[in-house]
Structure 1
Amino acid sequence: MLSHPLAEGAELRALEPWRAEEFYAFVVRSGAHLSPWLPWAMDIDEPAKAERWLQGYAEDQARDGRRVYGIWLDGLLVGGAGFATFDARTGNCSLGAWLAPEARGRGLVTRTARLMIDWAFGTRGMVRAEWSAATGNVHSIAVAKRLGMEREGVLRSALALGGVRHDVEVWSLVSDRR
């Protein structure tokens, strides 16, 4: 996928290592908003770290593993989404997304996640897509609900961020191919 329209002025594209400077600028702009939920938002504090982070995804994608995409709005990188895990052998994947505060309320994350799930199920034959969110991340949990996912449970104290332990809700969608 080189580019896929999401809404007026918005598109989904591969977020590749050559976009590290742009990704780093996004993290600088949105890091305070993202850091309560995403450990990498605190770790990427220079362009070289952004490039290494994106390179890790590129290498995994080359092995048919996890992959990452960016969300652009009017030419500006405002968010992203990725398959945190992608295992075609078992038919299981997990995904998540993030968005700058100024881009919220447009359905971009829900449309992105729907495209990713449709591709994983329809093109790649995946059977299970999982979404995890800290219990306090109401926006992420709302996306899981809009996607029609089922809440499977809570992993207690499973996520450590900034010295605080968070419970994590696990949501999933299962293909009709089971």
Structure 2
Amino acid sequence: MEKMECKERQNEVLNMIVEECEKNKIVAVKVPEEEAGIADMAVVRHKDKERLSGEVLGEYYFLPVPESEKVFQYFVCSLTISDDLDSKFVQAVQQAVSKINFTLSSGAFLMSPDQKLLCFRYVLVMPVEQEVSCMKLGVRAAMVNALRSVMKWGRVLGDLESGKMDEREFLRQFGSQLGC
């Protein structure tokens, strides 16, 4: 498959994400590679007061496919839970993230090296020659999987980050689920 054709299919998938979000009254925009810095990207503002601790920013994109790599393409779901972690609670969040990640079958909660950003990242690997309809199906499943992990643990991590919950309470409530 030619690189341009691959990029066109990827853009069709990103456009689908934005269109489906807009149909469901979810704020979403497509950001071109020149602005995003990595690749063309669909940016989505996820809000669910019942299951999320505030707003979660979703960034969805395909990593660039190098000329030498014509077998696989990588679709990234990156969900930012917090971009300004309070340093007083970083250790509790780190401990919880470590315990939660150990139980996840896919994806991971991550903290930036400066310990300010907390996100969840999931990467879907697909053949470069995948039909666009299959790409869309896989991308939808990846997005749902990533959002489910954030909905399950995002509020808890947000409570740890804000000091509403300490590490002892976290272990009391969730330790048995996490094998602690």
TM-score (norm 2): 0.30
- Structure with greater Cα Rg: 2
Q: Which structure carries more relative contact order (alpha carbon 8 Å, separation 6+)? A: 2
Structure that is richer in strand per residue? 1
TM-score (norm 1): 0.30
Structure that is richer in helix per residue? 2
